[in-house]
Structure 1
Amino acid sequence: MRYILGGIIMNMNNIKTVMLMVLMAVIMMLIGGLVGGRTGLTIMLFFSIAMNLYSYWCSDSLVLRWSGAQEVTREEAPQLYALVENLANRAGLPMPKVCIIDADEPNAFATGRNPNHAAVAVTTGIMRVLDYNEISGVLAHELAHVKNRDILTSTIASMMATVISYAAQFFMFFGGSSDDDDGVNPIAAIAMMILAPIAAMLIQMAISRSREYEADHDGGEICGNPNYLADGLEKIEYYVTHSQETLPSAKPATANMYIVNPFEGTGKALTKLFSTHPDTAERIARLREQAREMRVR
Structure 2
Amino acid sequence: MRREPPQKALDYAPLIFPAGMLILFFVIPFGTMIAVSFFQRQQGGFYEPAFVFDNYARFLSAFFGGVLGFSLLLAITVAVVCVVLGLPFTYLLSRMSRKVQVVWLVALLSILSLSEVIIGFAWSTLLSRTAGISNLLVMLGIMAKPVALMPNFGAVLTGMVYQALPYTVLVLYPALVRLDPTLTEAARTLGASPVRAFLTVVVPALRNTIIATLIMVFIFALGCYLLPQILGRPQHWTLSVLITDQAIYQSNMPFAAAMAVFLVLVTLGMVALTLLVGRKGEAV
TM-score, length-scaled by structure 1 = 0.27
Report which of the two structures shows the higher radius of gyration computed on alpha carbons: 2
